[in-house]
Structure 1
Amino acid sequence: MFGSSPKISTNNEWDQLQSVVVGDATGAYKPDDMHFEEPGGYTSGIIPQAVMDLDRFARTLEQEKVKVYRPKQNNFNWGGGMYNYCPRDRLLIIGDTVVDCNMQYSIRNNESKYLDVVLKKAKRILTVPRDQGIFFDAANVCRLNNKLLYLISKSGNINGAEWLADNFPDHEVEITRTYSGVHIDSTFCPVANGLVVINKDRVNKDTLPQCFKDWEIIWLGSEDLPQKNVFAGEAVASNYILLNFFMIRPNLAVIDDAPVLQDALKTNGVDSYVIPFTHSRILGGGHHCVTLDLHRRYK
């Protein structure tokens, strides 16, 4: 359940976390119109394990004095979306503004009703038009203070980047086409101001976005990641989901079981909580995906 209303203000992916939504896998369902090979419910055991993994993650954040909110539970086989597992996909927070995105799969637009702690308490809500050919998932955007890096992919078109530029004129919107799949956060993974982990199998020095030209870069690829097994069901995320980590503050991350990533972060002065997500490939979300940071203390 949601508790007291949080302050909503976040400008980047790394400042000191004050409050956050952590997703919930309860009631997850694969809708018929989202092109799953096997639509319907998930294989027995997947959802209970995911719930336990998410609960452990939430408790860890609470131990770090972060206020944690959880979505309202819903049984999605009754319609109205896919799941509450990845709130990162649904809403985009830029400063104190909440962007109600028009998602790649419009059925997922309904998931916002389970995030009412965000929508009801936001000072400003901008709703992306549903009828003007503009679509993007919130997870197509990486926030870098006064810059927004926008991935054009299956889940975000050029019209989305133009809409953001028009509605956030105080931000520079840079476009990248480095990954044609869906979201940005297993390709570019900021750690702190001036430090970023980048998927070297998707990006090279020639395709590096301008916003990272002066940053220190940790280049990691498939050979640096252990194979994350798919125990049952259809994988919707690649093994690169292991790069999908979440920053509590610039010197503390939450990661999956990825020793090379952990060592690389440690070398750069960043400690890590290691919290494995057993079914992140099946459910399509790592630690960054399953969160929606509401308030980060901006320096």
Structure 2
Amino acid sequence: MSDTVRVDACDEWSPLREVLVGTAYGAMFPAEDRRMVEATMPREHWDEFRPGHPFPPRIVEDAERELQALAELLEELGCRVHRPRQVPWSGLGGYSAAMPRDALLVMGDAIVEASTAWRSRRHELLAYWPLVQQCRRDGARWLPSAVDFNIDPVGAGPPSELDDWVIGEARPAWDAADFLRLGPRTLIGQRSHVTNRSGIENLRARLGGDVQVYLVRPDDPHAMHIDATLCPLREGLALYNPDRIDPAALAGTPMADWELVPAPHPDPRTEPPLYMTSAWISMNLLVVDGQHVLVEAADDKLQTLLAELDFTPLPLPFQNVHALGGSFHCATLDLHRDRRARPS
């Protein structure tokens, strides 16, 4: 296999050829403004989010095994897999490199660094930088963030357009996981507690005027990342979270005419703890191609639904990764999806 890294991905469903899979190494609870924690995190875990507090070692070790199993399965399916560099987050006030989809957005041949609202993520690029450098050498466009992380957008600056967001407009802020790709020039996304109005304009400007960004407004007071609200499975078909969004909210977007299927309500669970998400993390799926979809091994209802929709579910244990704040979509970053290939 060639050492060249190909960057070319502009949707969520074309056959996956090259991918970055995160690492749980050294994961720390994000130490953020208490207002951000209370706006986005489950109430029973608020006190875990303090400086210098690592996730339980057993959960981190088991999450790393799950991520390694994911990497090996993707390789068996014909994908070229990259892993981040291990970084000692405890000395950087950082979070982890388990969720590359939060910090980086690939659109076509461009890799865009998100202007994250969380200051605990300001060093996350260290884990991905060797791969980014290789991608640049091989012709990818690199669009770095240029925000001043000394400016905290939480509760600062002009009031938000909607007063229920904890984030203000003191600086542009956006997380890549607040957006989904629907084609070479089309994104659908949301404002949230980590993505503000000026952040969306910043993203639009960096991608260029020919890229359209459509916004939806989920009914979610804790909104942070859209990939447990909408999940495109293939062009024209998507799962939606019936607790968070009405299909009517997609009017005026390219998904207005899609077949929209409600995802089954997830079963509650307590172990390992969902420190950073709700049980709807079950919707955070990874489409490998037009046939295969990665899904949590214990989620029988979702596997049954995918089979009814003529997909082949690929069940894999991932609940310890859930404890760190994401699932298959969050824990990966598509580098190359082959739009020319027919689904296998």
After TM superposition, the score normalised by the length of structure 1 is 0.92
* Higher mean C-alpha displacement, 9-18 vs 251-260: 251-260
Which secondary structure does the structure 1 equivalent of 2:213 belong to? strand
The 5 Å alignment of 1:20-99 reads 20-33=19-32, 35=37, 37-38=47-48, 39=50, 40-79=53-92, 81-99=94-112
Contact 1:12 1:144 in 2 (8 A): yes
Structure number, greater radius of gyration: 2
**Alignment partners' CA distance in 2, 1:181 and 1:280:** 20
Give the CA RMSD over aligned residues: 1.8
Indicate yes or no: 2:244 matched with 1:202.
yes
Contact 2:31 2:93 in 1 (8 A): no
2:143 alignment partner in structure 1: 126
Which secondary structure does the structure 2 equivalent of 1:32 belong to? coil
Contact 2:66 2:320 in 1 (8 A): no
**Alignment partners' CA distance in 1, 2:194 and 2:271:** 23
2:226 alignment partner in structure 1: 184
* Higher mean C-alpha displacement, 22-31 vs 3-12: 3-12
2:294 alignment partner in structure 1: 254
**Alignment partners' CA distance in 1, 2:336 and 2:66:** 23
Listed as ranges, the gaps of 5+ residues in structure 2 are 38-45, 149-169
**Alignment partners' CA distance in 1, 2:70 and 2:116:** 26
- State the Cα distance separating 1:30 from its structure 2 match: 1.8
2:210 alignment partner in structure 1: 170
Indicate yes or no: 2:195 matched with 1:156.
yes
Equivalences, count = 294
Indicate yes or no: 2:308 matched with 1:267.
yes
- State the Cα distance separating 1:80 from its structure 2 match: 5.2
- State the Cα distance separating 1:290 from its structure 2 match: 0.2
- State the Cα distance separating 1:183 from its structure 2 match: 0.4
Percent of counterpart pairs with the same letter? 29
Contact 2:285 2:294 in 1 (8 A): yes
Indicate yes or no: 2:274 matched with 1:238.
no
Indicate yes or no: 2:228 matched with 1:218.
no
After TM superposition, the score normalised by the length of structure 2 is 0.81
Which secondary structure does the structure 2 equivalent of 1:295 belong to? strand
Deviations 1:183-202 (Å, cap 9, x if unpaired)? 01000111111111110111
**Alignment partners' CA distance in 2, 1:137 and 1:174:** 15
Which secondary structure does the structure 1 equivalent of 2:124 belong to? helix
**Alignment partners' CA distance in 2, 1:151 and 1:280:** 24
Distance 1:286 1:31, change over 3 A: closer
